Structure 1
Amino acid sequence: MKTIALYSIKGGVGKTATAVNLSYLASHAFPPVLLCDLDPQGASTYYFRIVADKKHNSTKFLKGSKKIYKHIKATDFEELDLLPADFSYRNLDIELGEEKKPEKKLRRSLGDLSTEYEYIFFDCPPNLTLLSESIFTASDLILVPLIPTTLSLRTYEQLLWFFRENNLDSRKIKPFFTMVEKRKGMHRDITQEHTGKGGFLESAIPYNSEVEKMGLYRAPLNAVHPNTPAARAYADLWQEVLRLT
């Protein structure tokens, strides 16, 4: 089982769109695949037209094992399952704070799934929290989408600093650019300076209105319009991720 987190300190960077499309692509190559929506806003859950069971909550999620199995839902796409988010996930940090080793809790909770899924993707909430630390420990790879701006680069440096200060393995972190608009000088300059260098991936996701329309399709872009520039970029990103895992 390979675990891949889509994580960013900053919101609004295309994290969920990437998680949805990569998990869809992975399900064709290495079925079955599970996408865990860990954000209480539940954007991935919404995209897949799924509603969490009323009995599903943050406490049961942290208990793991059978408490997780019974709440996993099949999506409309073969070999792609979803563990939906619940608004109670906003309490995960409080509940993790009561654990003896909170940074290891997520890996333990999902341990039984290792025989069921080839890949597990995490759609993560923003900010640095106890849940984030648990995600970092549970993930084999941490993909960090960045809009090519100075503020996004600053949040990336903050993430690297956090890993250094807490003796975490920063080799897991793989940043890439998203929502790139080549007509903007800053976007061009930053992508040219960093793409494929210093740990940055070669793949970049262009700004494309079709990505925004995923909220209307409520489906992966790569399933609905696979020949759009953004969909092709997600396919390239998946191939690059595949080589890393």
Structure 2
Amino acid sequence: MPIIAVFSSKGGVGKTTIAANLGWCSAQLSGRRTLLWDLDPTDGAGFMFALEAQRKRQARSLIAGDVPAQALIQSSDYAGLDLLPADGSLRELDSLLLRMGQRHRIATLSRQLVRSYDRVILDCPPMLNELSAQVMRAATLVIVPLPPSPLSARALDHVVEEIRRHTRRPPPILPVLSMIDRRRSLHLEALAANPGWPAIPLVSSLEQCAVQRRPVGTFAPRSPATLAIMRLWQGIESKLAQMEAAATMA
């Protein structure tokens, strides 16, 4: 199943910005029917795409089985890209999942969603709990944004351990160096130490996404950030194609 989780146990790493822009790339560059599912109660993805906040806080109700996903999904301004927005009711999501006792609830809902979409991208909250464990069970591929710092290295270790503890067939992990400033020696060292990892630069055009409330490719199509996001998406598509081919041969 083409379910891509953008996850980090650490906040402030560019997770939502990357998830939103990958959703746009999936729909606009690859022509994939794409759903961006926001599981973070701050509703950053909805804000990034200038969606109007829903009057009823029902995101939790989808997990509980009280409303269908189709009742909550909203169209974006971009063909082929829909959003399943978050709201404050998801603050109680971890306790709800524990009470339900359904260890694969997120995976079950994700399987239902991929009947209507080619790609489902999960924008996950920065925490380690029952929700993160369920996300790891649901994901086909896990994208981990990592600004160059010792704390980010620890965050990657946490993700690896979370996947090891909660999955029988671990999904591949794709670390992404985020918020890279080539004027800083620590950042250059991180790039040199991980030459195969995608890298997203810290540039004003990417920061403008939250100001303009739209993907960077729509207003700065040739910026370093746009090109880096596009390369990242191409790498994701290539990895998914390899996994599909391997599954077919098996």
Q: Structure 2 length as normaliser, TM-score? A: 0.90
1:186 matched residue in structure 2: 186
The CA distance in 1 between the partners of 2:148 and 2:93, in whole Å, is: 31
Which residue matches 2:246? Answer: none
2:35 maps to 34
Match of 1:209 among 204, 207, 224: 204
Q: What secondary structure does 1:46 align onto?
A: helix
1:173 — aligned with what?
Answer: 173
With 213-222 and 154-163 compared, the bigger mean Cα shift is at 154-163
Which stretches in structure 1 are left out of the alignment for 5+ residues?
Answer: none
Q: What CA RMSD, in Å, does the superposition of the two structures yield over aligned residues?
A: 1.7
Residue identity in the other structure for 2:202: Y
Alpha-carbon distance in 2 for matches of 1:154, 1:32: 35
Counterpart residue number, 1:68:
69
Deviation at 1:167, TM superposition (A): 4.9
Q: Which amino acid aligns with 1:18?
A: I
1:26-60 superposed Cα distances (whole Å, 9 cap, x missing partner): 00213311000111011111011113433342432
Deviation, structure 1 residue 176: 1.2
The alpha-carbon deviation at position 159 of structure 1 amounts to: 2.0
The equivalent residue for 1:123 is 123
Deviates more, 1:62-71 or 1:77-86: 62-71
The answer to whether structure 1 residue 234 and structure 2 residue 229 are counterparts is yes
Question: In structure 2, what is the equivalent of residue 98 of structure 1?
Answer: 99
Give the number of equivalent residue pairs.
Answer: 239
AA aligned opposite 1:218: R
Task: Supply the distance in 2 between the matched residues of 1:91 and 1:51 (Cα, whole angstroms).
Answer: 22
Cα deviation, residue 115, structure 1: 1.8
> Against the structure 1 CA distance between its residues 70 and 167, is the aligned structure 2 distance closer, same or farther, given a 3 Å change threshold?
closer
| AA partner of residue 95 (structure 2) | I
Q: Distance in 2 between matches of 1:18 and 1:127?
A: 17
The CA deviation at 1:165 is 3.7
Q: What SS does the corresponding residue of 2:5 show, helix, strand or coil?
A: strand
The residue number in structure 2 matching 1:10 is: 10
